[in-house]
C-alpha cells in the first residue's frame, strides 16, 4: 500500500540534475514531497531527523564515495528503499551497489517519469515485503526462544517425574515386600492357633458351649488364613514371583474335589451347592493350582454373597478348544455401576466399616490376574437381589509361547 504523499529524499549536488529529477517526478502519478540534500555530510543528519519512504542518491557526490555512503546509510539501520542515480558507464558498479543493499539504480541520462515511477513503486513494494519477512522471521525467532525455554522446562519436569517414578517404584516394591513378609509371618502363629483349636475340639471332655467357642475360633482362624493367603498371592502377583507349573490333569476331578472342599461353607448357610459338569473330554494342560484358586475364589464369593438359595458350578466347552467355568448364585447381586470396579484391588461394593461381608477386596483382582495368566477372560452378569454369574473362559491347553 502506497502512502497518499511519499516523502522522498533527493541527494544530488548538481542543481540541473535535481531539477530534471523533480520535473520527471512531477510528471508521474505519484504525489511526492521532496527534500533535497546536496552533500554527503548532510545525508546522515537529515535521515536521523526525518522519515522518508524512498531515498534517491547520486552515486558520484563530490568528496564522498557512493558505495561507502550507501553502506553508512544501511549501517544506521534505516530500512528504506534506496535508488541510486548513476552516471553513464557506471553500470559496472551497479552490481556492487545492489550488493551493499540498494533497491535499484537508474542511469541519470535515461531518467524518465515512467522509469522513476516504476522504480519507486517497485522499490517500496519490495521493501514492504522485506519488512514483512523480517517481522515474520522475528516472530519465528521469538516463538523458537519460547519453545526452547518450554522444552527446557519440560525436560526438567520429565527428569523430576523420572526421579519420582523411581521413588514410587522403590516404595511400591518395599510395600509388596513388606506384605509378602508379613503375610508369611502371620501364617505361622495362626497355623498353631488353628492346630491347637483342632486338638481341643477332639477332647471328649468339652461341653457343648466350649465346642461352640472352639469352632468359632477355628472358623475365624480360617477366615483370617484366607485373607492372609490373598494378601500373599496379591503381593506375589504384583512382584511377578507367582510360580506357575503347567501339567496335564483331569479337570472334572479338580472341579469336583474343589467344590467338595468348600461344601462345609454352603452347609452352614443351608445353600444348595451343585456341579453341572458337561465336558466330554476332561484332559487339560494348565496349572492346577491356579485353576483351583480361581474356582475357590469364585465359589466362596458366591456362597458368601448368597443369603439363601443355590450356587451352581457349570463346566462346558466353548468355541475354539476353550473351556468355560461358570459360577452362578442366587445372591445379592452387584449394582451395574460397580460391575467394572469389583475386579480392581481393594474394591468392594460395600466399602463401609460396618459392612456385613468380611474380606480383603483382593479376591477378584487376584482371580482376574490368574485368569490372565492362563490366557483366559473373566466376565460377570449380575442383577441386584437376583444373583450373579461369573464366567471364566480359558484355553484347554496353555500356549507356552504366549505366556
Ligand atoms: P472380597 O470378597 O474380599 O470383598 P473380592 O475381590 O472377592 O473381595 O470381591 C470384590 C467385591 O465384589 C465384593 O466385596 C462384593 O461386593 C462383590 N462380589 C464379588 N462376588 C460377588 C457375588 N458372587 N455376588 C455379589 N457380589 C459379589
Residues 105, 97: contact at Cβ < 8 Å? yes
| 58-72, 295-309, 319-333, range with the lowest pLDDT | 58-72
Cα 155 to Cα 148, 151, 159: the distances in Å are 10, 6, 6
Q: Average pLDDT in the 253-280 region?
A: 95
**pLDDT reported for residue 92:** 75
342 lines ligand 1 (CB under 6 A): yes
Kindly give the distance from the C-alpha atom of residue 360 to the centroid of ligand 1, in angstroms, as a whole number.
10
Ligand 1, residue 329: give the atom nearest the CA. 23
**pLDDT reported for residue 294:** 96
Q: Higher confidence at residue 126 or residue 312? A: 312
Q: Indicate the average pLDDT of the chain.
A: 90
Find all residues with CB under 8 Å of 278, minimum gap 6, and list them: 314, 315, 316, 317
Kindly give the distance from the C-alpha atom of residue 356 to the centroid of ligand 1, in angstroms, as a whole number.
12
Q: How confident is the model at residue 90 (pLDDT cuts 50, 70, 90)?
A: low
Residue 381, classified by CB atoms within 10 Å of its CB into exposed (0-12), middle (13-18) or buried (19+), is: middle
CA dihedral angle for residue 209, residue 212, residue 213, residue 218, rounded to 10 degrees: 160
Closest residue by Cα to residue 271 from 185, 211, 332, 210? 332
Beta strands, E only, 147-282: 247-250, 272-277
Q: Higher confidence at residue 371 or residue 226? A: 371
179 lines ligand 1 (CB under 6 A): no
366 lines ligand 1 (CB under 6 A): no
Q: What is the pLDDT of residues 319-367, one digit of tens each?
A: 888 999 999 999 999 999 999 899 998 888 877 766 778 788 899 999 9
**pLDDT reported for residue 380:** 98
Output the residue whose Cα is nearest ligand 1's atom 16: 349
How far apart CA 80 and CA 75 sit, in angstroms, is 12
**pLDDT reported for residue 369:** 94
Separation of CA 300 from chain center = 39
Residue % of the chain over a pLDDT of 70: 97
**pLDDT reported for residue 343:** 94
Ligand 1, residue 360: give the atom nearest the CA. 3
Neighbours of 211 (CB within 10 A): 13
**pLDDT for residue 2 is more than 70:** no
How far apart CA 110 and CA 118 sit, in angstroms, is 13
311 lines ligand 1 (CB under 6 A): no
Out of 301, 304, 332, mutate this one to test ligand 1's pocket (max ligand atoms within 8 Å of CB): namely: 301
Q: What is the pLDDT of residues 146-159, one digit of tens each?
A: 999 999 999 999 99
116 lines ligand 1 (CB under 6 A): no
Neighbours of 230 (CB within 10 A): 21
364 lines ligand 1 (CB under 6 A): yes
DSSP secondary structure string, 389-402?
A: EEEEEEESB--TTT
Q: At what angle do helices 66-75 and 91-99 cross, to 10 degrees?
A: 20
Kindly give the distance from the C-alpha atom of residue 362 to the centroid of ligand 1, in angstroms, as a whole number.
9
Exposure pattern of 39-76 as b/e (b: 16+ CB <10 Å)? Answer: ebeebbeebeeeebbbbbbbbbbeebebeebbeebeee
| 1-5, 277-281, 380-384, range with the lowest pLDDT | 1-5
How far apart CA 33 and CA 272 sit, in angstroms, is 109
Find all residues with CB under 8 Å of 203, minimum gap 6, and list them: none
**pLDDT for residue 403 is more than 60:** no
Kindly give the distance from the C-alpha atom of residue 193 to the centroid of ligand 1, in angstroms, as a whole number.
28
Q: What is the pLDDT of residues 105-153, one digit of tens each?
A: 998 888 899 999 999 999 999 989 988 999 999 999 999 999 999 999 9
309 lines ligand 1 (CB under 6 A): no
Output the residue whose Cα is nearest ligand 1's atom 13: 348
How far apart CA 199 and CA 163 sit, in angstroms, is 54
Kindly give the distance from the C-alpha atom of residue 248 to the centroid of ligand 1, in angstroms, as a whole number.
31
Q: 467355568: which residue's cell? A: 325
Amino acid at each position: 500500500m502506497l502512502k497518499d504523499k511519499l516523502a522522498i529524499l533527493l541527494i544530488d549536488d548538481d542543481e540541473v540534475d535535481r531539477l530534471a529529477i523533480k520535473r520527471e517526478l512531477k510528471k508521474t502519478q505519484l504525489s511526492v514531497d521532496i527534500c533535497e540534500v546536496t552533500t554527503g555530510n548532510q545525508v546522515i543528519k537529515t535521515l536521523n531527523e526525518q522519515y522518508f519512504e524512498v531515498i534517491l542518491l547520486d552515486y558520484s557526490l563530490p568528496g564522498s564515495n557512493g558505495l561507502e555512503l550507501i553502506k553508512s546509510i544501511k549501517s544506521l539501520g534505516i530500512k528504506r528503499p534506496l535508488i541510486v542515480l548513476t552516471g553513464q558507464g557506471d553500470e559496472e558498479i551497479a552490481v556492487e551497489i545492489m550488493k551493499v543493499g540498494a533497491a535499484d539504480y537508474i542511469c541519470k541520462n535515461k531518467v524518465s517519469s515512467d522509469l522513476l515511477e516504476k522504480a519507486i513503486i517497485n522499490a517500496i513494494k519490495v521493501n514492504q515485503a522485506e519488512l514483512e519477512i523480517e517481522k515474520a522471521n522475528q516472530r519465528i525467532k521469538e516463538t523458537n526462544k519460547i519453545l526452547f525455554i518450554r522444552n527446557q522446562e519440560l525436560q526438567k519436569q520429565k527428569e523430576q517425574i523420572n526421579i519420582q517414578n523411581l521413588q514410587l517404584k522403590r516404595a511400591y516394591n518395599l510395600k509388596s515386600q513388606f506384605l509378602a513378609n508379613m503375610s508369611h509371618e502371620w501364617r505361622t502363629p495362626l497355623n498353631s492357633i488353628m492346630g491347637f483349636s483342632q486338638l481341643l475340639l477332639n477332647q471328649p471332655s468339652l461341653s457343648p458351649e466350649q465346642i461352640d467357642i472352639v469352632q468359632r475360633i477355628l472358623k475365624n482362624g480360617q477366615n483370617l488364613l484366607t485373607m492372609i493367603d490373598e494378601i500373599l498371592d496379591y503381593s506375589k502377583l504384583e512382584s511377578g514371583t507367582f510360580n506357575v507349573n503347567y501339567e496335564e490333569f483331569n479337570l472334572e476331578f479338580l472341579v469336583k474335589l474343589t467344590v467338595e472342599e468348600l461344601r462345609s461353607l454352603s452347609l452352614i448357610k443351608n445353600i444348595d451347592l451343585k456341579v453341572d459338569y458337561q465336558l466330554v473330554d476332561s484332559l487339560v494342560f494348565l496349572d492346577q493350582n491356579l485353576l483351583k484358586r480361581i474356582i475357590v475364589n469364585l465359589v466362596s464369593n458366591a456362597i458368601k454373597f448368597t443369603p439363601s438359595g443355590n450356587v451352581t458350578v457349570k463346566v462346558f466347552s466353548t468355541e475354539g478348544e476353550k473351556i468355560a467355568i461358570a459360577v452362578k448364585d442366587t445372591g445379592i447381586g452387584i449394582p451395574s455401576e460397580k460391575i467394572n470396579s469389583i475386579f480392581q484391588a481393594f474394591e468392594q461394593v460395600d466399602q463401609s466399616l460396618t459392612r456385613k461381608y468380611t474380606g480383603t477386596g483382593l479376591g477378584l483382582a487376584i482371580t482376574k490376574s490368574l485368569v490372565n495368566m492362563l490366557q483366559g477372560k473373566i466376565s460377570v452378569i449380575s442383577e441386584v437381589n437376583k444373583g450373579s454369574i461369573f464366567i471364566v473362559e480359558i484355553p484347554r491347553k496353555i500356549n507356552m509361547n504366549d505366556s
